Amino acid sequence: MSVFSTVLARDLRLALRQSADSLTVVAFFAIATVLFPFGVGPETNVLARIAGGVLWVTALLAALLSLDRIFAVDFEDGTLDQLVLTGAPLPVVVLAKVCAHWLTTGVPLILVSPILAVTLHLPIAGYVPLVFALLLGTPTVSLVGAVGAALVLGTRRGGVLLSLLVLPLYIPVLIFGTAAVEAALIGRASTPMLSVLAGFMVLALTFSPWATAAALRQAVE
């Protein structure tokens, strides 16, 4: 079995055993979204206007909360040291772990987003772009987040620090993700924004595994 599928299968197995973790992330996504009607009032117009942005922001925050799972456990129990020492191609290992992270947090977030969109009165035209934008955007979120997660391994207050490192880098995804939904609502095509999101994903796929691997190497040194 190749390195990629071994690591992926192992991480998925572990995630399945601790499926409560994924559920917590989804629950956070839901509760954070539900806070908005209380904050801005339940008027349909207002909620429909901000639905796309709210869902994107809360999805980013939910994903952020789950990032430390990618490496923290392996770092603490020494699995990471072994992976580095055995000379396994680290970028491939990273890619497999990010893939597992996306499948266990990104995908559940995408699956519940339409339900949450209903509570925010997102107009019907917005659903398809929302799901596609999340499909194309959340892999970038996991990839970029992995760099941050690897950098903060072994720090005090890793979680708060991670948000400071990673959130500014999420702004482009947020801009185009929200714009894809908003374009559909005013009757324009959202394909340009979706292609930009796809472009971001390709860029992140090229750079992030290497940067993460470098960060992991210095973490276990």
Please give the residue ranges that form the binding site for other proteins (CB under 8 A).
147, 151-152, 154-158, 161, 164-165, 167-169, 171-172, 175-176, 179, 200, 203, 207, 211, 214-215, 218-219, 221
Q: Which two tokens stand for residue 84?
A: 């580095």
Closest CB 171 distance from other proteins, rounded Å: 6
- Considering the complex, state which of residue 103 and residue 165 has its C-beta at the smaller distance from other proteins: 165
The distance of closest approach from Cβ of residue 164 to other proteins in the complex, given in angstroms and rounded to an integer, is 5
Q: Is the dihedral of CA 119, 42, 59, 199 positive or negative?
A: positive
Smallest separation (angstroms) from other proteins to the CB of 150: 9
The residue (of 46 and 167) whose beta carbon lies closer to other proteins is 167
Q: Which is nearer to other proteins, 35 or 171 (CB)?
A: 171
Nearer of residues 30 and 185 to other proteins, judged by Cβ: 185
Q: Answer whether 219's CB lies under 8 Å from 150's CB.
A: yes
Q: In whole angstroms, how close is the CB of 27 to other proteins at the nearest point?
A: 28
Nearest distance from residue 54's CB to other proteins, in Å?
A: 16
In the complex, least distance from residue 162 CB atom to other proteins, rounded to whole angstroms? 10
Rounded to whole angstroms, the Cα distance separating 213 from 91 reads: 5
Query: Closer to other proteins at the Cβ: 111 or 189?
Result: 189
> Which CB sits closer to other proteins, 37 or 172?
172
